[in-house]
Homo-oligomer: A and B are copies of this chain.
Amino acid sequence: MGPPDLVVVSNRGPLSLSTGADGQQIATRGGGGLVSSLGPVVAGSGATWVAAAGPDTPHEVVEAEGFRVRPVPLDGERFRQYYDVVANATLWFLHHDLFDLARRPHLDRRWRRAWDAFREVNDAFAEVIAAEAGPDATVIVHDYHLPLVGRALARQRPDLRTAHFNHTPFCDPDALAVLPEDVAAELLDGLAGFGACGFHSTRWSANFEACCSAVLGRTPATFVSPAAVDGEELARVAATPECEADLAELDALVGDRHLLVRVDRIELSKNLVRGFLAFDEMLHEHAQWRERVVFGAFVYPSRETLPDYLAYRSEVEAVVARVNRTWATPGWTPIVLDSSDRFTRSVAALRRSDVLLVNPVRDGLNLVAKEGAVLNERDGTLVLSPQAGVWDELSGAALSVNPFDVAGTAEVLNRALAMDRAERAVRAKALRTASEARTPAAWLDDHRAHARPAPPEPPTG
Contact = CB atoms under 8 A, between A and B. Distances in A.
Interface of A: 97-103, 105-109, 111-112, 172, 174, 177-181, 268-269, 271, 273-274, 277, 281, 284-285, 312, 315, 361-362, 386-387, 402, 404-408, 410
Chain B CB count within 10 A is highest, among A105, A174, A177, for A174
Contacts of A99: 100
A361 B102 contact: yes
A138 to B, nearest CB: 34
Contacts of A268: 102
Contacts of A315: 103
Contacts of A178: 402, 404
B102 A271 contact: yes
A410 B180 CA distance: 13
A97 B108 contact: no
A108 B402 contact: no
Given A98-B101, A174-B172, A404 B181 contact: no
B109 A285 contact: yes
A269 B101 CA distance: 8
Contact of A406 (B106, B274, B284, B361): B106
B180 A106 contact: no
A286 to B, nearest CB: 12
A273 B103 CA distance: 8
A406 B162 CA distance: 35
B101 A97 contact: yes
Given A101-B98, A361-B101, A402-B177, A407 B111 contact: yes
